[in-house]
Amino acid sequence: MQKKERFRRFLEYFTQHYPEPKTELHFGNPYELLVAVILSAQCTDKRINQISPSLFARFPEPESLAAASVDEVFTYIRSVSYPNNKAKHLVGMANALMEKFGGEIPATLEELQTLPGVGRKTAHVILSVVYNEPTMAVDTHVFRVSHRLGLAPLTATTPLAVEKALMAHIPKQYVPKAHHWLILHGRYVCLARAPRCGVCELKGFCKYYEKVSEPGFS
């Protein structure tokens, strides 16, 4: 199957069945989303949603977070992965927001990446969700599912390479949604260790399924 056809069927399925996908992180404004995305690195959205209400109640805006001590922030996020580093990043991010951007969340990739704890993936999430920009944040789910479906070539061995492969074939108006489609499919169907191919409705054009369905494959 040609790559163009795989992308066509991918877009056709999700636009019909999940036309309005959304992040599973709970947030009430761009600041809260930025905090949640920083915390979600190598951690589940479920865990972040459990600890974020008390964190946001104590630090409801960048000003209060910027004035906090790293030790105090740590007490609210101790159950997430790498809490020491993330506490430092959050306080540093809030201070940078106040000093450089007047407490407003930047709207460009370059400016977002000047904030502590914000890399390309996190910046792309903010641009996509907050500003509806056609950016593709590549996390572990997007990386895995893109390769398995055959949307990204095996030679795309870095998140940036996968991002470029996807951006080259997905129309701009669908890019923000496609990010969520790939994440959610990877989270609930195309699992890392035991993909649920039996219930997957994409197996008709999935490169991975073509391979595992071959006689003698083990």
Closest CA relative to residue 80, chosen from 136, 6, 144, 25:
25
**Residue 64, Cβ neighbours under 10 Å: how many?**
12
Active site residue 172: no
Three-class secondary structure assignment of the chain: CCHHHHHHHHHHHHHHHCCCCCCCCCCCCHHHHHHHHHHHCCCCHHHHHHHHHHHHHHCCCHHHHHCCCHHHHHHHHCCCCCHHHHHHHHHHHHHHHHHHHCCCCCCCHHHHCCCCCCCHHHHHHHHHHCCCCCCCCCCHHHHHHHHHHCCCCCCCCCHHHHHHHHHCCCCHHHHHHHHHHHHHHHHHCCCCCCCCHHHCCCHHHCHHHHHHCCCCCC
197 assigned binding-site residue: yes
Which of 45, 86, 121, 203 does the annotation list as catalytic?
121
Q: Residue written as tokens 């960048």?
A: 62
Concerning whether 139 is annotated as a catalytic residue, the answer is yes
Choosing from 139, 203, 207, 211, which is the catalytic residue? Answer: 139
Q: Is 206 annotated as a binding residue?
A: yes
| Residues of each annotated binding site for [4Fe-4S] cluster | 190, 197, 200, 206
- Catalytic center residues: 121, 139
| Residues of each annotated binding site | 190, 197, 200, 206
